[in-house]
Chains A and B, each alone.
Chain A
Amino acid sequence: MAIQRITLAKGLNSGLRKAMEDDPKVLVMGEDVGKLGGVFRITDGLQKDFGEDRVIDSPLAESGIVGTAVGLALRGYRPVVEIQFDGFVYPAYDQIVCQVAKMHYRSKGRSKMPMVIRIPFGGGIGAVEHHSESPEAQFAHTPGIKVVACSNPVDGYWMIQQAIACDDPVVFLEPKRQYHADKADLDDSVDPDPLFSSRVVRRGQDVTLLAYGPTVKTALSAAEAAANEGTSLEVIDLRTLSPLDLGPVYESVRRTGRAVITHEAHVNLGMGSEVAARITEECFYSLEAPVLRVGGFDTPYPASRIEEDFLPDLDRVLDAVDRSLKF
């Protein structure tokens, strides 16, 4: 394949298509995923090419979508279910944390649950309530499922295929505000990083900046701005939230002595809390400052006219960087 310039939406769509071509057991299921191609068009054209038995338009019932996917997985299929918006995943929460997550464990490994639960997550699109949530910590707190977040078109293409190939259930988070935003070059002759790995996306010396999903772009913008002011930020895209891959993070923090983590989810008991605790355990003697967190405030997601104030932006990240450097 020649190098293609693609969006995240295109990367995910192509990745899904490739996975379906490679394995006839892969099914796509969810509300409006068929003829419409999903409300974000991520599954565009798949039903036309793979048929209604493999790209299944479902009734409007999230627990039903995930619960029937459990049965399909037990029958040997690899269902990829789409939750239309993050805030709609909660009706399926019981099925995900009590059934999907525990089936392999309860059956002593006899029943595999190779399911992917795709969730468009995060804000920044000016939506009404329940359409801009960041529920990752709720799932990362549950043993038995794995949680990943892509941040760019190339990762979207590879990570969705890797998640589908994984024999464990994967909650797959897609930053919805970046579906149709930036383009990147996809060269699929280059081997991808493993699914459950973090990646240094910008080298720097002064502070380690951690992000995933939609805040990777924010972090890179902050690093760009900081560089203009003479501060060098190292940016790491966590990519995998459960398991966490903190080896590269520890290596970085031991060099910089400082870490700031940013995510859209509420700060209290969020992913940042876990990462900060682990960095403290592993890098205590290297730290020059406490690990700082920049996230959404501990309020319900606000009305969209003020969501820009809720979301961590470049200035709030740089403010935390300044606070870190002042210790």
Chain B
Amino acid sequence: MSHHGFGPDLVEVFGPSQSDGGPELVQLLTPEGERVHHPEFDRDFSAEELRGFYRDMVLTRRIDTEATALQRHGELGIWAQLLGQEAAQIGAGRALRPQDHVFPTYREHGVAWCRGIDPLALLGLFRGVDHGSWDPEEKHFGLYTIVIGAQALHATGYAMGMQRDGVVGTGDPDRDAAVVAHFGDGASSQGDVNEAFIFAASYNAPVVFFCQNNQWAISEPIERQSRIPLYQRALGFGFPGVRVDGNDVLATYAVTQAALQRARDGQGPTLVEAYTYRMGAHTTTDDPTRYRLSDDVERWKLRDPISRVEVYLRRNGLVDDDFIDTVRAEADQLGHDLREGCKAMPDPQPLDMFDHVYAEETPELRAEREGFAAYLAQFDGHSVEGRR
């Protein structure tokens, strides 16, 4: 960023650019697959947990690559890619308890996977057959939110509802609950996110603000959103912030779990900044080669969230080739199912657009539906082209 001649230069304030996330980055597994320890957030992981993380990330990546391919083939209108953010999402998603509730933005395919959402349901939204077909209450996972940051307030209000329902700070692990609000670095500039911080702090709401700082808001770099590391903003609102290596699924899990527990215990909100990188485009309509350096992408490839877990698992004899092959085969099957399932998805019927506008339908809308139905009925037995 250029020096504008007033105010301090960024380098003077923060030192040289911290492309590795800086010394405050919580990490439990290095990009080389080496297990390291952290004084506050360390925990033990069973071999089964680690294999589960690996499997989740591989399958989530496959959902993403298949969806991207389906968009290229014209089967989806658009797709929001998560390539590179698998660890941030699986770590956060697996830290949830069944009673916790998630408010996603539109890129949380890995968290959705953890909540048991059929990936085809995600594809349906981007294919244009509906606005999301899962039950938000049954899955404890809200509908994708396109308007940036709006869901941070919904999450805070939902958390305030949990307080009133008496499911915070009771000490019962099966009862105490918390909410996670997902958003990105771009959303941190939105008023709604900042208002959510204020409401959550003011009411001590059990909400974890989980920001995936993937460095880019379409073409705008993180420097255009913030002159300080994002996690430090939390202090200004009166609650703690943590920066975690978002490409490290172990650290993301441990930090999110701690933040969730804090919230469930009635100690209020936390901001978790998962420091990661969007390896792909913002969406399939985007062209990141126009605004960022391939050097950066290459550097981040070395921090791939999946390969570091694989290296660790192999080096410690926690997996064998059979396991890796089985997960690969599972991913191939998932890819096949998504391709077939996506193409087989029926289009909604024209009259479906009138459904569910209101809980109590209005006479005006009913009349409009009936009018359109009568209009369509004129073309019965004729081709759709016959309408015009």
**A residues engaging B (CB < 8 A)?**
27, 53, 58-59, 61, 63-64, 66-77, 79, 91, 94-95, 98-99, 102-112, 114, 143-144, 146, 166-168, 196, 242-244
Contacts of B136 in A (CB 8 A): 74, 107, 110-111
> Is A67's CB under 8 angstroms from B362's CB?
no
Q: A105 contacts B198, CB within 8 Å?
A: no
Q: A70-B154, A110-B137 are in contact. Are A243 and B362 (CB under 8 A)?
A: yes
Residue pair A72, B192 in contact (C-beta under 8 Å): no
Please judge, given known A-B contacts A94-B150, A167-B360, A243-B362, whether A107 and B143 are in contact too, CB under 8 Å: yes
CB-based contact B154/A99 at 8 Å: yes
B162 interface contact, C-beta 8 A: yes
Query: How many residues of chain B have a CB within 8 Å of chain A?
Result: 43
Known interface pairs A74-B154, A167-B360; A64-B147 also in contact (CB < 8 Å) = no
B153 touches A95 (CB 8 A): yes
**Smallest beta-carbon distance A90→chain B, Å:** 12
Chain A residues whose CB sits within 8 angstroms of the CB of B157 once the complex forms: 67-75, 79
Residue from the list B158, B202, B358, B365 in contact with A74, Cβ < 8 A: B158
Supplied contacts A68-B199, A70-B157, A75-B162, 8 more A-B pairs, CB within 8 Å: A53-B163, A64-B153, A67-B195, A74-B158, A104-B359, A106-B131, A107-B356, A196-B362
In the complex, how many angstroms separate the beta carbon of B101 from the nearest chain A beta carbon? 8
Chain B residues whose CB sits within 8 angstroms of the CB of A102 once the complex forms = 131
B364 engages A111 (CB within 8 Å): no
Kindly list chain A residues whose C-beta atoms are within 8 Å of the C-beta of B116: none
A109–B147 touching, CB < 8 Å: no
CB pair B364–A106 under 8 Å, yes or no, is no
B159's contact among A53, A58, A71, A110, by CB below 8 Å, is which?
Answer: A71
Q: Which of A70, A166, A242 contacts B360, CB < 8 Å?
A: A166
Partner of B158, one of A66, A71, A98: A71
Query: Closest approach, in angstroms, between the C-beta of A28 and any C-beta of chain B?
Result: 13
Most A C-beta atoms less than 10 A away, residue of B195, B355, B363: B195
Q: Is A144 a contact of B357 with CB atoms below 8 Å?
A: yes
A105-B131 contact, Cβ under 8 Å, with A243-B362, A244-B364: yes
Nearest 6 CB-CB pairings of A with B? A71-B157, A67-B153, A75-B161, A68-B157, A64-B195, A167-B359
Q: Which of B130, B135, B363 contacts A243 (CB 8 A)?
A: B363
- Verify B362–A64 contact, CB threshold 8 A: no
Indicate if the CB atoms of A143 and B357 lie closer than 8 Å: yes
Contacts of B137 in A (CB 8 A): 74, 110-111
Interchain CB contact under 8 A, B356 and A67: no
Query: Quick check: B358 and A104 within 8 Å, CB to CB?
Result: yes
- Verify A146–B158 contact, CB threshold 8 A: no
Asked if residues A106 and B143 are in contact (CB atoms below 8 Å), the reply is: yes
Tell me, rounded to whole Å, the shortest Cβ–Cβ distance linking B169 to chain A: 14
Query: From residue B362, how far is it (CB to closest CB) to chain A in Å?
Result: 4
Q: A63-B153, A110-B136 are in contact. Are A58 and B199 (CB under 8 A)?
A: yes
How long is the Cα–Cα vector from A247 to B240 in the complex, in angstroms? 58
**Alpha-carbon gap, A99 to B355, bound state (A):** 17
- Do residues A68 and B153 form an inter-chain contact, with CB atoms below 8 A? yes
Given A68-B199, A76-B161, A77-B164, check contact A243 B153 (CB 8 Å).
Answer: no
Q: Which of A63, A66, A69, A99 contacts B191 (CB 8 A)?
A: A63
Please state if B360 and A75 are interface contacts (CB–CB under 8 Å): no
Residues in B with CB closer than 8 Å to A166 are 359-360
B156 at interface by CB-CB < 8 Å: yes
